[in-house]
Structure 1
Amino acid sequence: MASNFGNWQCAIDNLTTTAKSDGCLKSFFNLDNNYKRIAFIHKKNFINDVAWLPLYWDNCHSMLRKSTEKAVRYRDDGNKYFQKKQYKSAIQCYTKSIQHASTAELQQNQAFALGLGNRSAALFYLKQYQACLGDITMALTSGCPCPTADRLKIRKIHCLVNLGRGQEAQQAIRDFKKHLSGHTDTEKKVKDKLEDDIASLEHQLSQNWLGEPDGQTDRQLPQLFQGPSEVITQASLAVEMKHTCSKGRHLVAKQAIPAGATLIVERPYAAVLLQDHLHSHCHNCFQTLSLAPIPCMECCVMLYCSVECRDTAWTMYHNIECQYQDLLSSVGIAHLSLRIILTAGLQFLLAFSDQDRDSVIRGLTVGPKYQRDYLAVHDLLTHEQDMEAEDLFQYSLTAYLLLRVLIDVGWLPDGASLEDELTDNMMCIGSFLLRHILQLVCNAHAISELQVSQVADSNLVDSKSQVRVATAIYPTASLINHSCDPTIIASFQRDTLVVRSVKDVAVGQEIFNCYGPHCKRMSLTDRQQALSSQYFFHCQCQACVQEEQSIQQDEVPQCPACGVDQVSAPAQCPVCLHNSETLASDTKQADRLFQQGLDRLQQMDIAGAIVSFSQCVELRERSMDRHQTPLCEARDCLARCHAMTGQFSLASKYLELNLSASELKYGDSSIELGYELQKLAQVFFNDKQVGKALNVIDRALGILTIHFGKNSGNEDIEELVQMKSCLIEYQAGTDT
């Protein structure tokens, strides 16, 4: 939320405190449906007690709007970087210029077109020809002045030639010659220069000179195992939906399913990009933005990967949300509730209660079919009967705020206003908003992507982690029940969810997802607490049941350092010689050395970092089991340092020690083990240890293929395949 106004969460916390003290909360909690809850919030005028909201409503329509003055200033900054040949910095400034330039003022100034034209020049020098072409096309259709337009047309032909698009380049040359011959007033010196450029380009084409295409190609989505189901349209034919009183709706294997099978391929019904990624990912499809993103035509915030995504977002939802972005970012996950409403559409929602149902099982349409549609979303569980009074009250306040947004923008018909009694239409939409907020607590999915963290721009030993980019609702994936030891893993191609089996599933067995608490990553107590607080159930999956039995049977004391069973609790462990005083001292010193190593590594003092990490590893090996996470982290950093100095044998030694820890902790088919194997493969590859590298690559490929699919276009799989190909070629050369 913009600091000039306020924070919605703070506001509803204060309203909740007041409602508890005056007895309103107790009255509210006795209400038994969403219509009554929205009406209660309206009648009590709670929202009017938020002091900064009137100021926000008065100003939100002019916030985040375009500014020609800023557009010119950012373009001038970009020109300075361009003159210094700092093209990436120039592009960042030109992008800001384009974001702030108003497309409604093209006749008065050409800030938008000139920003695009300048950015295309920087992109050209970076050989980003496809992105350069896109900027040129937009600039030429946005009122670009003639001298600049001529330069852009020449640059366009250069891009086409470099991309190997000969026929298009030839047509563009013919068009430009015709254009040039029709402008007799063009200064002779300028005209001669343009004609020379055209002649040079024609010569390149006559020599059949072709460049290499750049940019990313769209990856094809994987095919569902055995084809799509006739009932669950986004899922494999190999799965079917079952329903019982104890489990509710769930998915089981209709036939034997092997590990690596694609079970669900589903686009979200609705999704929202997280605030932290507004400048790095497309607001519509969540693809990582290129150097040349496309801005919203109205606000100076939202960015897109293409004109198509921009126009799609505007038509579906952004035309409503554009002026309320500060407020919507403050309501958190509830923003997705508004997005669901806008995706469904007003007329559809007002008529929704008249929809026919073909089955007593929720979400099934006539047919019966379970589809990626509003019915499937609407019929997801809300768990409102399990909610605490305070939570339900705050969700209702937020739903009412979102209803206020829709009324303020004129989305509801008949001049709707909250000054009087709520109309039936207001009540209907308000109750839908609240319903979806309640559902999202248990049914929202995080769209994540794998990101690599590197130190000092070294790619020798990388650390990979899943980073949450957006929040979405996938009605088919929501059918899968939880297990702390899941059957499947989810990955994403832009906003499309791909669900694959990570183990064989026999006919009739249930298919399980993990809602977050995983038996390999969290203790039993922590898992049960997390699942109970968010999902309102006590987990009795096989992993939890076995762990509970193991805890009950295992009463033998263990050494807290090395984990060895002990008959009693001696002052000093006979195996690792642990005692509490030395352990505390060693732990503190090891932590200091680890941080010291990180600081030295960041400063490129690799030799000093090796000393710090080596001492840290020595201390942690003395006081910890060889599989404990802090020890593995220290080994990993030490391996990175040795790899950066070309000591690949030493690097591989520490990475190999971590393999067994990763396998024990996460399992022999886990994605974590796959990434550890990939790191080790990189080191063996650089050390030209062909046999070891090929063996490790095959193991890594086996795991990553199960998780991501053979032809998914996954960058890690492609990198391993390329390494393997190079090694085989190298091996063949040395054998001869």
Structure 2
Amino acid sequence: MPTAEDNGINKHKSMETYALLKQRGNECFKSNDFKASLEHYTQGIINAPTYCVKESEKGEHVTEYPLAILYSNRSAACFRIKEYEQCILDVDRAFANGEHGHAREIKLLCRLAWAYWHLKQFKRCAGVVDRLLKQQNGKKYKEVDVLKALLERNVDKNDNLYLKSEPIGEEVFEKEYTFDNKQLNGASSNVQLSYEPEKGRFLKTKYGLLPGDGIISEETYCGVLNRKYIGQYCNYCFTECALHGIPCHGCSKALYCNEKCRLKAWNVYHWLECSMWPILQQVDAFAHVALRVILHGAYEFSLKNKNMKESDCEKDAEPYPFLCIAADLHKLYPPVVNKATKNKKKGKIKQQQAATPPPNVNKNGIDPESHVYNGDYWSIYCLQTHANEHLKTVLAKSTLYANYIAKVLNQCFPGRGKKQSNTSKNPPNGCSTKVAETANVIRSTFMRLSFKEMQANCCRHSFFEIEPLKKRVEGVCEQMAVNAPNPSVKQRNLFMSKELPQTFQSIISYLLRHHILQLYTNSQAIFNVIRDNMHKDEEVSTLQQQRIATALFPTTSLLNHSCSANTVITFKGRKTLIRSTRTLNVGDEISHSYGPCISRHCYEDRQEILSKQYFFTCHCDSCLKYEQGDSDERAFLQQFTAYKCKKCEGPAVIMEGSFKNEVIMGKCLNVECETIQDLTEASTRYNNIVHITQVIAQRLYKRQYNEGLGMLKRCLSGMDEILYKNHQSKSNIHDQLAYCYTHLRDYKSAAKHVKESLKTTSMRFGTMSMEAARESFKVATLYFNANMPGEAKVFLNKTIAVYKKILPDNSEEIRKAEQMLATLKAYREQFANYPKSPSFKVE
């Protein structure tokens, strides 16, 4: 979806931007392109100011409410595409964000009443009609009379049809996947934390697990959207809201799915980030997440103080625990030196990589009194940083960003320059007066930047005219962004000092660097399933996982890696759900894949990736089998890129070093054959076919399906002659052939080719994998469209069986598959005598 920036629109809120986007939205609405009008209205809402005072022709000052107008227009677009629930929300927002003339109020209320009518919420519809009748002012409206007549005929008989919307999305997820483990935050009661010197902390089963059992369901501690998805996904819960989002009142960057997310984001971190976009654009995602970790920690500690009141913000009281960051997050314990780690050759002493936590928290982030892993700030703080193992370039970059952000914040929040005379209010030991005073300023800022106050004043006043902090932060950030450091340029004196941090800037810099280093090995990518652009909304469209955010999950971070993991991870907004993929016995370790796995990487590649990024050598069951010579996983993967052996038609691979010579030699992987052969001609033919497929892709994009179909068949015939039967390129050709047949409405032939692709996918990833399930759903969809319900039902049952063991029960993919299955059953009941295909079985 094009964003405001793509069209050269002003990045700040302005009436010019509002007028331009409103005009574009109205033009699309008039041409019945309601989805496009939604996009423009939403972008207008993001960029529009809350209100604007204009001078009329008579010289009077008139207040205009752009947000109210755009929400009203967007509600009309939602109504036209039958998104009635979203229409109701936007009508409410239109009333909440400004005043309307009498005619517009009547129009909005009529739209609201009709939306309730279509949702069969007759009581609410009747309430809106009563309100309309009171506001007619003696003038009759035909639409109101129609609604009144409909209600008089139906409400008495159908009063019980007032339906309360069933909980959807996040509510269902919270209800079904809320675990009650009293020791581990977000974990099932069937999971326990264990420790071994070789493995460190890890999770294992307490009673055993079956395939599909839930293991962990937790909310991210904090995360950051990838930049290309800003404006398309919620800035707090990471759900898609490109068409129906609501903006931050202060900036034109952050978009939210509802008011609840906007309030949470503001209270935790956006109160500061709202004015820091010039700086955040200069740093990478890890530095941004690290900043949010600190802000979330400060917010977390503020909630723990039960006596904190809003009126206390103007008092010179003793700093709250969360504000004196030096005192309460660190206690400023001196670095612990372990003499046993002294490097004899270099004569250097290694420093512990994390400061000692407070006395009530042990080094594993577990409260020693309650023995609970809370998943709070200290759980994050105690994750490994591997500070002594990172490359110098990584350390330098982390230090550079940490110092840069700390310097900006130090200028944004200067100390008050007033010493505390009362000895009872002196800062804790090791914490300078300046640090405590700065902390007091931050505390006051937290308390004054109340979102409740912002909401109350947004219609009449600009919130940031009330709070001058925005201008100060914006001014500092714009000035600092001009001279932002370049991480690619070699810098001097970038490494953190081993001296005890004393000032506000040095403490913030230390914490930021600490969390940035943690993120290199503990961050979790949040994925969303997105259809590819070329085949979008098609029966054979490819579902791809796109990384939309980078986040930290405290309990999930405790899982160790395995190249053949026994869990699968899915996401629902800010929440993650981890389920078992196979049966686990009592005491078995629960493992998770960090990326490298046996279905995509050979042993050497896996070890190299894990060693470079995570600093360990994997000794999982799969790697041990390879080391003991029990299996050759390289041969398993090579068959998907192998040529056809000229003697036995088995998989033949190019021998190492062959590319250096003009003659390319290969060897058959079949143990009974192992023929060494010349693959030069086969390699040349394969490269030519690959080039042809690129030309075909362009023709398919231009909808030249008949021409593309003939060329693809010739390519497939050529590949059959030179490539092994399980070669991945042949599977890709089958997918393209299915795409052509689908557009030519030959669904049966399309299903035949997708089934061929399914064979390769199932062999590589397993029959119970998501990859195989999605291919199976493609086949079912094609048979469904080909009016072959028997075959469709077979593949649908296979798909649903896999989905229910991996995905949450309320996921979109399960819903679509079950909806298709229900349609097939209804079709069978209605037409009981239609010819049945051989594979169709009556239940």
TM-score range, shorter chain: 0.7 to 0.9
CA distance in 1, matches of 2:50, 2:608: 53
CA distance in 2, matches of 1:426, 1:679: 56
Counterpart position of 1:704: 803
CA contact (8 A) 1:117 1:136 kept: yes
**More helix, by proportion:** 1
Q: Which amino acid aligns with 1:381?
A: Q
Are 2:644 and 1:562 equivalent residues in the alignment? yes
Counterpart position of 2:400: 397
Report the Cα offset of residue 720 of structure 1. Answer: 2.0
What pairs with 1:189-228 in structure 2 (closer than 5 Å)?
191-192=139-140, 195-208=141-154, 217-219=168-170, 220-221=172-173, 227-228=179-180
CA distance in 2, matches of 1:456, 1:551: 42
What pairs with 1:242-391 in structure 2 (closer than 5 Å)?
242-289=194-241, 291-332=243-284, 333-345=286-298, 347-348=321-322, 349=325, 350-353=327-330, 355-357=358-360, 359=362, 361-364=364-367, 366-391=369-394
CA distance in 2, matches of 1:142, 1:560: 63
Given the alignment, which residue of 698, 708, 719 partners 1:609? 708
Structure 1 residues 559-568 or 84-93, which shifts more? 559-568
Counterpart position of 1:7: none
Measured at CA, do residues 584 and 536 of structure 1 come closer, stay the same or move farther in structure 2, by a change above 3 Å?
A: same
Q: What secondary structure, in the 3-state scheme, does the structure 1 residue paired with 2:216 have?
A: strand
Are 2:645 and 1:692 equivalent residues in the alignment? no
Structure 1 residues 455-464 or 677-686, which shifts more? 455-464
Measured at CA, do residues 154 and 466 of structure 1 come closer, stay the same or move farther in structure 2, by a change above 3 Å?
A: same
Q: What secondary structure, in the 3-state scheme, does the structure 2 residue paired with 1:384 have?
A: coil
Given the alignment, which residue of 135, 140, 150 partners 2:106? 150
Counterpart position of 1:125: 80
Q: Which amino acid aligns with 1:318?
A: H
Q: Residue by residue, what CA displacement relative to the aligned partner does 1:359-379 show, whole Å, maximum 9, x if unpaired? A: 564444530101221111111
CA distance in 2, matches of 1:566, 1:94: 57
CA distance in 1, matches of 2:92, 2:441: 41
Report the Cα offset of residue 222 of structure 1. Answer: 6.5
CA distance in 1, matches of 2:388, 2:250: 42
Counterpart position of 1:477: 556
Report the Cα offset of residue 602 of structure 1. Answer: 1.5
Report the Cα offset of residue 730 of structure 1. Answer: 3.2
Instruction: Report the RMSD for the aligned CA atoms in angstroms.
Output: 3.3
Measured at CA, do residues 682 and 137 of structure 1 come closer, stay the same or move farther in structure 2, by a change above 3 Å?
A: same
Measured at CA, do residues 86 and 678 of structure 1 come closer, stay the same or move farther in structure 2, by a change above 3 Å?
A: closer
CA distance in 2, matches of 1:560, 1:140: 65
Given the alignment, which residue of 643, 668, 671 partners 2:770? 671
Measured at CA, do residues 707 and 382 of structure 1 come closer, stay the same or move farther in structure 2, by a change above 3 Å?
A: same
Report the Cα offset of residue 692 of structure 1. Answer: 2.8
Given the alignment, which residue of 14, 36, 40 partners 1:93? 40
CA distance in 2, matches of 1:248, 1:654: 48
Q: Residue by residue, what CA displacement relative to the aligned partner does 1:267-326 show, whole Å, maximum 9, x if unpaired? A: 011111111111221111111115221011011122111122112211211110012224
Given the alignment, which residue of 591, 598, 601 partners 1:522? 601
Given the alignment, which residue of 6, 14, 23 partners 1:67? 14
Report the Cα offset of residue 265 of structure 1. Answer: 0.4
Q: What secondary structure, in the 3-state scheme, does the structure 2 residue paired with 1:668 have?
A: coil
CA distance in 1, matches of 2:758, 2:34: 42
CA distance in 2, matches of 1:97, 1:566: 59
CA contact (8 A) 1:225 1:261 kept: no
What pairs with 1:713-732 in structure 2 (closer than 5 Å)?
713-732=810-829
CA distance in 2, matches of 1:726, 1:449: 27
Q: What secondary structure, in the 3-state scheme, does the structure 1 residue paired with 2:524 have?
A: strand
Counterpart position of 2:509: 430
Q: What secondary structure, in the 3-state scheme, does the structure 1 residue paired with 2:571 have?
A: strand
Measured at CA, do residues 634 and 699 of structure 1 come closer, stay the same or move farther in structure 2, by a change above 3 Å?
A: same
Q: What secondary structure, in the 3-state scheme, does the structure 1 residue paired with 2:109 have?
A: helix
Q: Residue by residue, what CA displacement relative to the aligned partner does 1:515-554 show, whole Å, maximum 9, x if unpaired? A: 0111101122221111111101111211122234449989
Q: Which amino acid aligns with 2:108?
A: L
Are 2:440 and 1:493 equivalent residues in the alignment? no
Structure 1 residues 134-143 or 369-378, which shifts more? 134-143
Report the Cα offset of residue 632 of structure 1. Answer: 0.8
CA distance in 2, matches of 1:117, 1:490: 40
Counterpart position of 1:19: none
Q: Which amino acid aligns with 1:162?
A: H
CA distance in 1, matches of 2:774, 2:234: 27
Q: Which amino acid aligns with 2:26?
A: N
CA contact (8 A) 2:280 2:288 kept: yes
CA distance in 2, matches of 1:180, 1:553: 81
Report the Cα offset of residue 641 of structure 1. Answer: 1.7
Are 2:466 and 1:463 equivalent residues in the alignment? no
CA contact (8 A) 1:561 1:578 kept: no
CA distance in 2, matches of 1:225, 1:175: 41
Report the Cα offset of residue 213 of structure 1. Answer: 9.8
Q: Which amino acid aligns with 2:781?
A: Q
Structure 1 residues 233-242 or 543-552, which shifts more? 543-552
Q: Which amino acid aligns with 2:70?
A: G
Counterpart position of 1:22: none
Structure 1 residues 143-152 or 244-253, which shifts more? 143-152
Counterpart position of 1:37: none
**Identity among equivalent pairs (%):** 25
Q: Residue by residue, what CA displacement relative to the aligned partner does 1:578-607 show, whole Å, maximum 9, x if unpaired? A: 743321222122112212222222212111
CA contact (8 A) 1:259 1:706 kept: yes
Q: What secondary structure, in the 3-state scheme, does the structure 2 residue paired with 1:133 have?
A: helix
Q: Which amino acid aligns with 2:264?
A: T
Counterpart position of 2:453: none
Q: What secondary structure, in the 3-state scheme, does the structure 2 residue paired with 1:312 have?
A: helix
CA distance in 1, matches of 2:525, 2:666: 46
Measured at CA, do residues 633 and 701 of structure 1 come closer, stay the same or move farther in structure 2, by a change above 3 Å?
A: same
Report the Cα offset of residue 458 of structure 1. Answer: 4.8
Are 2:755 and 1:656 equivalent residues in the alignment? yes
Q: Which amino acid aligns with 2:643?
A: A
TM-score normalised per structure 2: 0.73
Measured at CA, do residues 132 and 458 of structure 1 come closer, stay the same or move farther in structure 2, by a change above 3 Å?
A: closer
CA contact (8 A) 1:359 1:368 kept: no
CA contact (8 A) 1:358 1:367 kept: no
Structure 1 residues 610-619 or 722-731, which shifts more? 722-731
Pairs aligned (count): 661
Counterpart position of 1:79: 26
CA contact (8 A) 1:358 1:368 kept: no
Q: Which amino acid aligns with 2:272?
A: I
Report the Cα offset of residue 132 of structure 1. Answer: 2.1
Q: Which amino acid aligns with 2:329?
A: F
CA distance in 2, matches of 1:568, 1:468: 34
CA distance in 2, matches of 1:535, 1:343: 26
Q: Which amino acid aligns with 1:718?
A: R
